[in-house]
């Protein structure tokens, strides 16, 4: 057995909390080795130990790479040996181009002068390799989070990689683009490059992984060899959560009422390129108690549509009408949209949904300071009472509501974001990728919360790149492509094949990537909502 990597007895603690407890882990040369486990199981911590983010001396155990013991003091030490890690949190500079970000640390050139022509040509090749057709001089700020992830992977490929570590690389991608990325990993495997893949998408692991190691509570539970036959996803889930999940989605009997949200003839133009129409005369409706899914490929316009509705947070020259509860609604600003009964849970909870450095209490009450204020003075006792109540109702796992939000797991962070917008008492809740980067156990809890919202009379819109998720929790699925709704299916008639057929029949251009997502300035618009 030719192991390129061996990790023996790795333990890592953060104060009294033991994040890793005597973990052993090996990767064979040319192998795709998957790591899976619930949020907080220790996957990312183990990879940060390997790459030198947590330096030698801050953990117990031994790392052997290429047959020699390694004591990495920083990430540049591991990169020098060809160990490249792509973190879940992207490390890109928004106001630089894709090419500039790719070659930021090692630009091509001679005598200290950067050769921009070579950088542009090489970046174009790398971007094409990860399935991205945007010009290399496109600014990162004009790309959506899914495209930014692809640029991050192209950036890693520009280095002499021997062991590639990918932490949730497809979390921001739809199924087609995820499949393209997995194909790239298979190509690397054929070239003898080893990969470590961390993902919550078990179907991806089953497709490409040679072996799967399951972590639970900081311990390695089992390593499963996938080369001897198919691996049951139920078996992986049982090992991850230490319990059976009879169904991946909770059962639900919807009680659907009258139309609560109606959008008519909605059109939106690009915020920078004002002559470019992104949303084309869209009609859309949601009933009380109904969960409506919006399916589509990257660039279909789903997020742009949702954000333009929510206080015109995206786009220019927006036209059309919105009715909420048969009353024409003014949604021209975020504040007015909230007052009208709309709430929008962003796809990027870390950047746009939460203030990670603030505590849970402040994050939950942030979008409705009026609800905890008197004469524009915040009532600290009421704020504490509200946050504690949502902690209980949403089952947020934390020490108390004064805990820093950035230290919560992904699933609990998402519950805080949901609590923030539920405190605004919305009639319509738009959830953009509500389970991105969340493990299967936490996903089930989020699905239960979504169904509970619908049962209490809310209208719920779910935008998701995971078709099984839409099929599993939605009462109706609308299909979007190129800024238009091109299909609609009830839960009974919806299938992945029908959804993809609706998209393919309506496609009139080859490039499915050329609709930039909202600029990063959206953060202030969503988070800064005062009393």
**Per-residue CA distances from 398 to 401, 402, 409 (Å):** 7, 9, 9
Confidence of residue 83 (pLDDT cuts 50, 70, 90): very high
111/138 Cα distance (integer angstroms): 27
**Residue 145: predicted pLDDT:** 67
Q: Could you confirm whether domain 3-241 is CATH 3.40.50.150?
A: no
Cβ atoms of residues 35 and 198 within 8 Å: yes
Does the structure show a pLDDT above 70 at 246? no
User: Tens digits of per-residue pLDDT, 96-122?
Assistant: 999 999 988 777 777 777 788 888 898
Does the structure show a pLDDT above 60 at 317? yes
**Residue 524: predicted pLDDT:** 38
User: Tens digits of per-residue pLDDT, 454-479?
Assistant: 999 999 999 998 888 899 999 999 99
Does the structure show a pLDDT above 70 at 372? yes
Report the percentage of the chain scoring pLDDT > 70: 91
Token pair belonging to 459: 């209208």
528/146 Cα distance (integer angstroms): 25
**Residue 273: predicted pLDDT:** 83
85/164 Cα distance (integer angstroms): 6
Token pair belonging to 356: 């990670």
Q: Per DSSP, what are the bridge partners of residue 134?
A: none
- The domain locations on the chain are 3-241
**Lowest model confidence (mean pLDDT) among 48-52, 86-90, 374-378, 411-415:** 86-90
Cβ atoms of residues 169 and 86 within 8 Å: yes
**Residue 184: predicted pLDDT:** 82
For the whole model, what pTM was predicted?
A: 0.61
445/267 Cα distance (integer angstroms): 35
**Cα R_g (the chain), whole angstroms:** 23
User: Tens digits of per-residue pLDDT, 357-369?
Assistant: 888 999 899 888 8
**Residue 517: predicted pLDDT:** 41
Confidence of residue 39 (pLDDT cuts 50, 70, 90): low
**Residue 1: predicted pLDDT:** 67
**Residue 523: predicted pLDDT:** 38
The whole-number average pLDDT for the span 76-102 is 87
Terminal Cα distance for the chain, rounded: 64
Confidence of residue 406 (pLDDT cuts 50, 70, 90): confident
Does the structure show a pLDDT above 50 at 128? yes
**Per-residue CA distances from 131 to 13, 120, 192, 452, 496 (Å):** 39, 16, 21, 39, 22
Which residues touch 213 (CB under 8 Å, ≥6 apart)? 25, 33, 34, 35, 36, 220, 222, 223, 224
326/480 Cα distance (integer angstroms): 25
Q: Per DSSP, what are the bridge partners of residue 380?
A: none
């Amino acid at each position: 057995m030719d192991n390129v990597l061996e990790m023996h007895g790795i333990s890592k603690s953060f104060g009294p909390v033991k994040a890793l407890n005597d973990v052993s882990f090996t990767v064979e040369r040319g192998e795709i080795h998957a790591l899976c486990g619930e949020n907080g199981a220790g996957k990312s911590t183990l990879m940060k130990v390997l790459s030198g983010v947590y330096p030698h001396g801050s953990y117990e155990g031994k790392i052997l790479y290429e047959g020699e013991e390694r004591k990495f003091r920083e990430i540049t030490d591991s990169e020098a040996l060809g160990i490249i890690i792509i973190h879940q949190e992207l490390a890109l500079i928004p106001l630089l181009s894709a090419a500039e970000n790719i070659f930021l640390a090692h630009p091509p050139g001679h005598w200290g002068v950067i050769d921009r022509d070579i950088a542009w040509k090489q970046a174009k090749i790398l971007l094409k390799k990860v399935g991205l057709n945007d010009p290399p001089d496109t600014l990162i700020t004009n790309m959506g989070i899914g495209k930014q992830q692809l640029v991050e992977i192209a950036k890693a490929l520009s280095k002499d990689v021997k062991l590639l570590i990918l932490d949730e690389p497809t979390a921001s991608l739809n199924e087609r683009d995820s499949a393209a990325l997995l194909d790239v990993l298979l190509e690397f495997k054929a070239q003898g490059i080893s990969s470590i893949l961390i993902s919550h998408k078990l179907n991806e692991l089953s497709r490409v992984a040679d072996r799967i190691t399951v972590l639970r509570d900081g311990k390695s539970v089992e390593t499963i060899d996938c080369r001897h036959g198919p691996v049951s996803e139920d078996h992986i889930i049982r090992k991850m959560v230490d319990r059976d999940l009879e169904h991946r989605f909770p059962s639900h009997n919807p009680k659907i009422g009258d139309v609560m949200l109606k959008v008519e003839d909605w059109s939106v133009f690009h915020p920078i390129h004002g002559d470019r129409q992104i949303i084309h005369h869209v009609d859309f409706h949601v009933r009380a108690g109904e969960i409506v899914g919006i399916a589509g490929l990257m660039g279909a316009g789903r997020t742009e549509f949702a954000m333009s509705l929510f206080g015109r947070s995206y786009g220019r020259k927006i036209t059309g009408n919105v009715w909420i509860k048969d009353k024409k609604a003014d949604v021209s600003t975020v504040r007015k949209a909230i007052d009208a009964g709309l709430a929008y849970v962003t796809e990027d909870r870390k950047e746009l949904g939460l203030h990670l450095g603030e505590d849970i209490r402040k994050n939950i009450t942030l979008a409705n300071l009026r609800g905890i204020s008197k004469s524009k003075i915040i009532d600290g006792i009421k704020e504490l009472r509200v946050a504690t109540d949502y902690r209980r109702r949403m089952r947020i796992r934390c020490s108390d509501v004064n805990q820093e939000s950035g230290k919560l797991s992904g699933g609990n962070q998402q519950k805080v974001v949901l609590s923030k917008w539920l405190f605004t008492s919305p009639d319509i809740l738009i959830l953009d990728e509500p389970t991105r980067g969340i493990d299967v156990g936490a996903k089930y809890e989020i699905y239960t919360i979504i169904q509970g919202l619908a049962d209490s009379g809310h209208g719920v819109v779910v935008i998701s790149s995971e078709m099984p998720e839409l099929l599993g929790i939605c009462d109706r699925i609308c299909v979007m492509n190129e800024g238009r709704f091109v299909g609609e299916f009830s839960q009974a008639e919806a299938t992945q094949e029908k959804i993809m057929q609706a998209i393919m029949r309506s496609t009139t251009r080859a490039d499915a990537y050329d609709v930039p997502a909202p600029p990063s300035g959206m953060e202030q618009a969503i988070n800064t909502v005062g009393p």
